[in-house]
């Protein structure tokens, strides 16, 4: 754990809060997925070697934030949409950070 990784972790936590807010208040899956993909590629660019740690941090903070700090919608359709956005964003976080790390390493050669 170095200073750069700690600073990036704070950025990721702020981004996770913003992504969770988008998941809770959107009516479509496009906005959370777009934000998750962009943030995941940024994770890969910020930390090409340790990006997996930031991706795990974002996925865990998304899940914990949704599970423990948000209210469950009354409608079943809204609940399913939120869960689809949540789990899809978590998967995109891992895929995008992997791709971002590969692109960063390829660009630095």
Query: How wide is the angle at C-alpha 45 spanned by C-alphas 96 and 101, nearest 5°?
Result: 55
Number of domains in the chain: 1
> What pLDDT is recorded for position 46?
86
CA 41 to chain centre: 10
> What pLDDT is recorded for position 21?
96
> What pLDDT is recorded for position 26?
92
- For residue 77, the enclosing domain spans 3-107
> What pLDDT is recorded for position 67?
95
pLDDT tens, position by position, 43-102 = 888 888 888 899 999 999 999 999 999 998 999 999 999 999 999 999 999 999 999 888
Predicted confidence (pLDDT) at residue 1 exceeds the cutoff of 80: no
- pTM for the predicted model, two decimal places: 0.90
- Cα–Cα separations (whole angstroms), residue 58 to 2, 28, 78, 96, 98: 18, 21, 23, 12, 14
Measure the CA–CA gap between 50 and 35, rounded to whole angstroms.
21
CB distance 19 to 37 below 8 Å = no
């Amino acid at each position: 754990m170095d200073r750069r990784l700690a600073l990036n972790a704070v950025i990721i936590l702020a981004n996770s809060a913003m992504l969770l807010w988008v998941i809770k208040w959107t009516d479509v899956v496009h906005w959370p997925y777009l934000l998750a993909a962009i943030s995941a590629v940024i994770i890969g660019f910020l930390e090409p070697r340790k990006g997996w740690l930031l991706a795990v941090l974002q996925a865990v903070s998304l899940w914990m934030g949704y599970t423990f700090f948000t209210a469950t919608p009354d409608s079943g359709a809204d609940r399913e949409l939120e869960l689809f956005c949540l789990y899809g964003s978590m998967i995109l976080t891992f895929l995008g950070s992997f791709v971002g790390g590969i692109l960063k390493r390829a660009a630095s050669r």
